Structure 1
């Protein structure tokens, strides 16, 4: 939205013996826009004889006058961009450039030689476009959000001013700060608060706003107990595992070997059989059969020897 602010501030008025008055008026204007300079002569003046418009931005030049009928237009940078009212008291300049900033004078002389003049100081400003807010969240806790906001607009020639306002719920906007960057600390119950940045110069302004809930994500309080329980449970599991690992490590490093003795002694035995041949030839009846001429073996004598076997004692380590 383009807004032309015409501040018609009367800074100085000087009356001389000849009835001359000099009025200075400040006129802000927008680049590529237009500006109208209007002068109303006093009622003391009789029929106007001569009107002259002049421009000064370093060098003073004449734009037009009424020396010739209906008027004379001087060649200048404004020639194809001037719109002049029929009475010549209003001068409009179209398609303004930054070079059109300067002081414009009108001089009016009546048939009695009485002179009146007025000065218009025109300042051409760059229009404001694409105003934006950049946010930096510094800290976001469960009950408060600390954030820095930067308001800006692209500019090549003009310096802009900034005004911050805020609105909470159904209240109107209230003044906050006049800097391009601000730091705020917003409580949890102000999530619906809206911050408005106004980028402006004397000829134009743009608004851009942001809500707290769009830049601050407050944690959900309902999930906090469950989250804390999960953290505690995981911590306990880790502690138990570390304790078990420590016990196993200590036991392996410092264990004392233990030798187990078997209380039950096993009884082992072997059967020893001895055989001794006979020296004479005789008939030996073996299983009711007789064998002649063969050396007979002596009757087998079986002896059983019992003993107890024990494991040898372990060697000390």
Structure 2
């Protein structure tokens, strides 16, 4: 039996270590290739709803099992969600983080029910096809709150007999960043690009409208949305025309004291007219009475009757 020299022994050890390091490097590069070749899938869910994580597996390939883990957005500590297979699809999270909210819809799709805001984060799955072959996929979940119902406030800037300028402001309670846009008409059409009629400011929350009586569309709608939900609120500018803000557009735009004032004025005019009529009639009757009396006295003198009236009638008494 031939003995190995110390140089041969060192050479064999070097080859063995090199082979082990090469296999380890190959395994690491293979795992990295799986991760790099499968980018993160962006998934969006709404608070209280459900979300699916469907792993992308080619048809005809048998999946032995799937391993899932979770890294929250607000924490560095990750969670081991568990191991799932076609023989064990109803698996409760061993950490209790999700409880009964976690299950498998089929062999490759994970579902989370009753979403919470803290469920947002990275979900990583390792898909095993056999004992040595696997693939990794990742999902980035963002959980959004439902969009609150917006409210529209208005302020009339100026008014003319032909129309008015009004500023509409869309208010949305809550902390979440929301997208705000405006629509017009009953069919919710997007606003035109006419700067002579519309001006949008404050990140879309304020809309200044130059409205004329001949305008076809009087309804303006504020659309508030996030990636998973949206809400609308509408305002009809004709409500301004029918109020005291819209200027001289009709009787409903008169000041509250104007109608009672007109009634008082009308009554005073009627009273003055009656007084004038009474005075005129009295003067007419007085003239008639004097004329009639003078005639009666003249006839009496001619007939020699009532001589005591002579001095009275002569002086017009």
The TM-score normalised by the length of structure 1 is 0.57
Deviations for 1:230-251, whole angstroms, at most 9, x for unmatched residues?
xxxxxxxxxxxxxxxxxxxxxx
Cα separation, partners in 2 of 1:153 and 1:95, compared to 1, 3 Å? same
Deviation at 1:173, TM superposition (A): 0.8
Cα separation, partners in 2 of 1:211 and 1:191, compared to 1, 3 Å? farther
Deviations for 1:203-246, whole angstroms, at most 9, x for unmatched residues?
11001111221234352389xxxx9xxxxxxxxxxxxxxxxxxx
Aligned to 1:219: 248
Deviations for 1:179-201, whole angstroms, at most 9, x for unmatched residues?
11121211221264221110011
Over the aligned positions, Cα root-mean-square deviation in angstroms equals 3.1
- Residue 84 (structure 1) aligned with residue 104 (structure 2): yes
8 A Cα contact 1:46 1:111, kept in partner: no
Aligned to 2:195: none
SS of 2:132's equivalent in the other structure is: coil
Structure 1 residue corresponding to 2:210, chosen from 164, 182, 185: 185
1:143-154 to structure 2, matched below 5 A, reads 143-154=162-173
Q: How far apart, CA to CA, are the structure 2 residues paired with 1:189 and 1:151?
A: 25
SS of 1:138's equivalent in the other structure is: strand
SS of 2:100's equivalent in the other structure is: helix
Q: How far apart, CA to CA, are the structure 1 residues paired with 2:69 and 2:100?
A: 16
Structure 1 residue corresponding to 2:55, chosen from 39, 57, 75: 39
Aligned to 2:273: none
Structure 1 residue corresponding to 2:112, chosen from 93, 98, 102: 93
Q: How far apart, CA to CA, are the structure 2 residues paired with 1:60 and 1:77?
A: 11
Once the two structures are overlaid, the 10-residue window that deviates more, 179-188 or 107-116, is 107-116
1:1-317 to structure 2, matched below 5 A, reads 17=30, 20=34, 21-43=37-59, 46-57=61-72, 58-66=76-84, 70=88, 73-87=93-107, 89-111=108-130, 113-155=132-174, 157-167=175-185, 173-175=189-191, 177=200, 179-190=204-215, 192-216=217-241, 217-220=246-249
Cα separation, partners in 2 of 1:140 and 1:191, compared to 1, 3 Å? farther
SS of 1:190's equivalent in the other structure is: coil
SS of 1:48's equivalent in the other structure is: coil
Deviation at 1:69, TM superposition (A): 5.7
Deviation at 1:133, TM superposition (A): 0.7
Cα separation, partners in 2 of 1:184 and 1:77, compared to 1, 3 Å? same
The TM-score normalised by the length of structure 2 is 0.57
8 A Cα contact 1:30 1:125, kept in partner: yes
Deviations for 1:146-179, whole angstroms, at most 9, x for unmatched residues?
1111112221x41111011223xx8861235561
Equivalenced residue count is 205
Q: How far apart, CA to CA, are the structure 2 residues paired with 1:180 and 1:96?
A: 29
Once the two structures are overlaid, the 10-residue window that deviates more, 195-204 or 32-41, is 32-41
Structure showing the higher helix proportion among its residues: 2
8 A Cα contact 2:157 2:165, kept in partner: yes
Cα separation, partners in 2 of 1:174 and 1:149, compared to 1, 3 Å? same
8 A Cα contact 2:154 2:167, kept in partner: yes
8 A Cα contact 2:65 2:86, kept in partner: no
Deviation at 1:23, TM superposition (A): 3.4
Cα separation, partners in 2 of 1:192 and 1:67, compared to 1, 3 Å? closer
The runs of 5 or more residues in structure 1 that have no matched partner are 1-15, 228-317
